[in-house]
Amino acid sequence: MTSALDDPLRVARRAVQAGEFRVAWDALAGQPSETKVSAEWLLLAAMARWRLGEFLPSRSAALQARDAYRELGDLDGEMRAENVAAAGAFALGDLGEAGRGFSRAHGLAERLHDELMKARCANNLGNVAYYLGGNDDALAYYRIAAVGFERVGLLFGVAETWINTGIVERDLERLEESRESATRALEIAERLGSARLRAQALAMSGEVAGLLGDVRLGRSLLDRALGIARPEEDHLTEIEALRLRTNVERKAGDYVEAARHGEEALTAAERLGHPWALAETARDLGELFVELGDRDRSAPLFDRAALSYENLGATGRAERMRERAAAIRAG
């Protein structure tokens, strides 16, 4: 039987596989210095810290892991580290480098005939396309990813593509289709017992319910998403659920609650330093203050959203926010 001395990363590896990222990082942090320079330690650290919202150290560790695996001639390790490094760039708002990194990882996956990584990269490239405003390209990538995940039997990945597809459908105002996508994702999350996946699917389901007029259900689903995301330290889903709750309360006409949730979401997005979350939250909070007739508060929020979108490289979205701010100021 292999002991902890023989395999010092066993606990962390299993925790990452189980989605227990705080457990994984605690196990990694306790390792001796000689273990912390290994390629696998760096990769596991990058994966755990990304999920804990620590995007800059995650990307740094992933790049070090990539270079270490490359020096070892380990294409599989290099591929996995490249994908995590690209995910770090994505979270930090460098969409150009994220796209290039995911494409490089996809190229390595093709060389290795790794269908799972090809699906993951397609899903990630879909996210980049969506951020840049390419909804049709995003949906095409998500379809490719879904087929790939189904081929290898990874239900978690299938659910992720349904969530991402539902978000695009929502933006296209195809609400019934978006609700169906959310339902499919939630069914898989329940079957897998994945807390993080369930929180994401519940958040999307809550928003769509609210947009379709069932405010009570929307609130309930979003509260459930928050109740799961917070103990999981899933900060992105927490911010998203708060932002979406803002929009549901706006629809219900409860502007006090809408403002409370929106400001809490904005503070959390600033603390996390996630450009996309900051842009989306500032935009929606700005729309709330437009409805309240508060130009002094709405226009600066659109400016903040524009700056964050611009920093991401999402120039079309940034221009729309600048136009929105200018129109508000013009009266």
pLDDT in tens, 291-318: 999 999 999 999 999 999 998 889 999 9
What is the pLDDT averaged over residues 193-217? 93
Shared domain check, 108 and 14: yes
Least-confidence region, from 3-7, 69-73, 186-190: 3-7
Is 214 contained in some domain?
no
For the chain, percent of residues with pLDDT exceeding 90: 93
Q: How far apart are CA 300 and CA 137, in angstroms?
A: 31
Q: Where does residue 194 rank: exposed (0-12), middle (13-18), buried (19+ CB within 10 A)?
A: buried
pLDDT of 3 higher than 70: no
Host domain of residue 60: 10-112
pLDDT of 20 higher than 70: yes
User: What is the reported pLDDT for 100?
Assistant: 97
Name the nearest CA neighbour of 43 among 68, 18, 20.
Answer: 68
Sequence-separated (6 or more) residues with CB below 8 Å from residue 162: 146, 181, 182, 184, 185, 188, 201
Shared domain check, 74 and 160: no
Concatenated DSSP letters for 156-201?
Answer: HHHHHHHHHHHHHHHHTT-HHHHHHHHHHHHHHHHHHT-HHHHHHH
User: What is the reported pLDDT for 204?
Assistant: 92
Shared domain check, 105 and 151: no
Q: Average per-residue pLDDT in the chain?
A: 94
What is the pLDDT averaged over residues 192-221? 94
Q: Where does residue 152 rank: exposed (0-12), middle (13-18), buried (19+ CB within 10 A)?
A: middle
Q: What are the distances in angstroms from CA 37 to CA 10, 23, 49, 52, 138? A: 16, 20, 16, 21, 37
Is 42 contained in some domain?
yes
Other beta carbons within 10 Å of 217:
16
Rg (CA), the chain: 20
Is 165 contained in some domain?
yes
Is 22 contained in some domain?
yes
What is the pLDDT averaged over residues 177-195? 94
Residue-wise pLDDT for 95-109, tens only, equals: 999 999 999 999 999
Shared domain check, 134 and 64: no
Banded model confidence at residue 144, pLDDT cuts 50, 70, 90:
very high
End-to-end distance of the chain based on CA atoms, in angstroms? 74
Residue-wise pLDDT for 247-257, tens only, equals: 999 989 999 99
DSSP H helix total and E strand total for the chain: 17, 0
Quick check: 276 and 90 in contact, CB under 8 A?
no
Is 260 contained in some domain?
no
The pTM assigned to this predicted structure is 0.86
The domain boundary, picked from 112, 131, 146, lies at: 112
Is 25 contained in some domain?
yes
The domain boundary, picked from 175, 193, 211, lies at: 193
User: What is the reported pLDDT for 5?
Assistant: 57
What is the pLDDT averaged over residues 14-34? 94
* Amino acid found at 290: V
The domain boundary, picked from 112, 143, 158, lies at: 112
Number of domains in the chain: 2
Name the nearest CA neighbour of 167 among 252, 237, 264.
Answer: 237
pLDDT of 83 higher than 50: yes
Residue 108: give its domain's CATH number: 1.25.40.10
Is 120 contained in some domain?
yes
Quick check: 207 and 249 in contact, CB under 8 A?
no
Using the structure block, give the residue that is written with the tokens 């603390």. 271
User: What is the reported pLDDT for 4?
Assistant: 52
Quick check: 91 and 99 in contact, CB under 8 A?
no
Banded model confidence at residue 1, pLDDT cuts 50, 70, 90:
very low
Is 242 contained in some domain?
no
Residue-wise pLDDT for 241-290, tens only, equals: 999 999 999 989 999 999 999 999 999 999 998 999 999 999 999 999 99
User: What is the reported pLDDT for 6?
Assistant: 74
Concatenated DSSP letters for 107-157?
Answer: HHHHHHT-HHHHHHHHHHHHHHHHHTT-HHHHHHHHHHHHHHHHHHT-HHH
Shared domain check, 69 and 97: yes
User: What is the reported pLDDT for 2?
Assistant: 46
Quick check: 161 and 142 in contact, CB under 8 A?
yes
